[in-house]
Structure 1
Amino acid sequence: MKFSQFKLLVDMMFTPDEQGGIKKRYDGVDVRQMHPLVLAYIGDAFFHLFVRTRLLSYEQAKVHALHAFSAQIVSAVWQHKAYLGIEPMLTDEEKAIYRRGRNAKSHAPRSSSVAEYHSSTGFEALLGALYLSEKFERLEEISEASFDVISRAMMAEIHGNTTEGTEEK
């Protein structure tokens, strides 16, 4: 699914404007002023859809397997690893958004460490800010790079390489 299609689905959930169109409630709102957990909420939804769509390149028939695999990929543990892998490509402004999300008060689930959970919240806040700012090219670039980092780390883990990064062959 393209970003424009995803945006259309989100827009349909908002109230109609005066012309009968879709009113975007966040128009005119400075994303830098939004609560970081709201940004993370949007970023989480986006990354879930991104990963699910990306996995369709590999499997189209086994929905249960797709769901289980996508749930693992979007977990706090793997999002934390993704952030560590993409951090060098981020701008100072993007790192600042990440830090705001990471530092937001929230409660970590038992499936990850507190540090991983907070890091994943920062990662999601970054994606949410890019989405709401309509910086779709940058959003796709960061999402693809994150998916690549996660894929490589999973392969390394499967093949017994416990170090971060990729194996040399």
Structure 2
Amino acid sequence: MESNLLKIKFDKVDIRQLNPLTLAFVGDAVYDVLVRTYLINKFQSISVHNLHVKAIKFVKAHSQSEIIKRLEKQLSEEELYFFKRGRNAKSGTVPKNADIQEYRFATGFETLIGFLYLTGEVDRLNYLFEFIITLNDKGEF
């Protein structure tokens, strides 16, 4: 049996059946890989520790909350639907370093990223990530 996990794609009917926290689980990992790839490309000669410090700026709940607030107006109805599903999901965990509203917005953001990745909307994911990089370069999170 041959399988290529990078080519697995969910259709939009199936993706609506997934728990939004499952989408956030995937979205968290995908976003982390995007951030790390971007950082090693931009800062090839800095230490891993400094890369990690820079990555935290992107992935912490406060930053993700600020990012999604700026992205919200650019989202399609479907993207907004998945963001809201994630934001409103009850996770059962209490955030350590963020208030509950930031944590929920961050979960919604990760749900959106998971949705885009699992449905194979790579161009849209790339567009949004480019927007995030622009926000970072302007110091907006």
* Structure 1 and Structure 2 fold alike (TM over 0.5): yes
Checking the alignment, whether the CA contact within 8 Å between 1:108 and 1:118 is kept in structure 2 is no
**Alignment equivalent of 2:72, drawn from 78, 84, 87:** 87
Q: Answer yes or no: is the 8 Å Cα contact 2:62–2:102 preserved in 1.
A: yes
Q: 2:25 aligns with which of 37, 41, 50?
A: 41
Q: Which residue of 2 aligns with 1:9?
A: none
Structure 2 residue aligned with 1:13: none
Matched, 1:68 2:53: yes
What corresponds to 1:164 in structure 2? none
TM-score, length-normalised on structure 2? 0.87
Number of equivalent positions: 136
What amino acid maps onto 1:136 in structure 2?
A: V
Q: 2:3 is aligned with what amino acid?
A: I
Counterpart CA distance in 2 for 1:83 and 1:138 is 15
In structure 1, the gaps of 5 or more residues are 1-19, 158-169
Query: Which one of the candidate residues 87, 106, 109 is aligned to 2:95?
Result: 109
| Corresponding position: 1:126 with 2:112 | yes
Q: How does 1:130-149 map to 2 (within 5 A)?
A: 130-149=116-135
SS at match of 2:41: coil
Instruction: Give me the whole-angstrom Cα distance separating, in 2, the residues matched to 1:147 and 1:125.
Output: 19
Runs of at least 5 residues in structure 2 that lack an aligned partner in the other structure? none
CA distance in 2, matches of 1:150, 1:114: 23
Aligned match of 1:50: 34
Runs (4 or more) in structure 1 with deviation over 3 Å come to 23-29
Which one has a larger percent helix, Structure 1 or Structure 2?
Answer: 2
Q: Please tell me the root mean square deviation across aligned C-alpha atoms, in Å.
A: 2.0
Query: How far does the alpha carbon of each residue in 1:106-128 deviate from its partner, in whole angstroms, 9 at most, with x for none?
Result: 22322111000000000000000
**What TM-score results when the alignment is normalised by the length of structure 1?**
0.73
Q: Which amino acid aligns with 2:36?
A: R
Flag the structure with larger Rg.
1
Letter in 2 for 1:43: G
Instruction: Give the share of equivalent positions with the same residue, in percent.
Output: 36
Q: Which amino acid aligns with 2:38?
A: R
Q: Distance in 1 between matches of 2:70 and 2:28?
A: 18
Q: Is the 8 A contact 2:10 2:119 kept in 1?
A: no
Other-structure match for 1:21: 2
